[in-house]
């Protein structure tokens, strides 16, 4: 199953380009890079300078899919172990 705007919440995020558009931590707003790791509560993003770890729940992300589509996702929808999030069923978000 390929990644689309409709199934991004239930898909693998590692390797996608991401930008943080909103965050409760003002120092994280505007971070742009590539997702290199994911845990229950965090995403690790590789920027030009270094790796930054951000808390999913505090942010709103824009992911760029392989077909160049941009999708905005509230980080609260992403909070869970990646392997569990991929399996669970979500109502339309």
13-69 pLDDT tens trace: 999 999 999 999 999 999 999 999 999 999 999 999 999 999 999 999 999 999 999
- The answer to the question of residue 68 being in a domain is yes
Tell me the CATH number at 29: 2.30.30.210
pLDDT at residue 17 in the model: 97
Residue 91 lies in a domain: no
- The β-bridge partners of 86 are none
What range does the domain containing 79 cover?
Answer: 8-84
- Tell me if 37 is assigned to some domain: yes
At residue 10 the predicted structure's pLDDT band, cuts being 50, 70 and 90, is: confident
In a domain, 29, yes or no: yes
90 or 28: which carries more pLDDT confidence? 28
User: Which run of H or E residues covers position 87?
Assistant: helix 82-87
Rounded Cα gap, residues 81 and 92, in angstroms = 20
Domain tally, the chain: 1
- Cα dihedral 66, 12, 35, 84, rounded to 10, equals 160
Taking the complete model, does pTM exceed 0.85, yes or no? yes
Contact 54, 31 (CB under 8 A): yes
pLDDT at 93 over 50: no
Average pLDDT for residues 60-85, to the nearest whole number? 92
93 part of a folded domain: no
Q: Report the alpha-carbon distance of residue 34 to residue 10 in Å, rounded.
A: 18
Q: Is residue 3 one of the residues assigned to a domain?
A: no
């Amino acid at each position: 199953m390929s990644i689309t705007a409709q199934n991004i919440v239930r898909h693998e995020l590692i390797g996608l380009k991401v930008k943080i558009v909103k965050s409760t931590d003002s120092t994280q707003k505007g971070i742009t890079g590539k997702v290199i790791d994911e845990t229950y509560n965090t995403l690790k993003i590789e920027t030009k300078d270094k790796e930054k770890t951000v808390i999913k729940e505090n942010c709103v992300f824009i992911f760029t899919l392989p077909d160049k589509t941009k999708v905005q996702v509230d980080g609260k929808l992403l909070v869970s172990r990646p392997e569990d999030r991929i399996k669970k069923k979500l109502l339309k978000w």
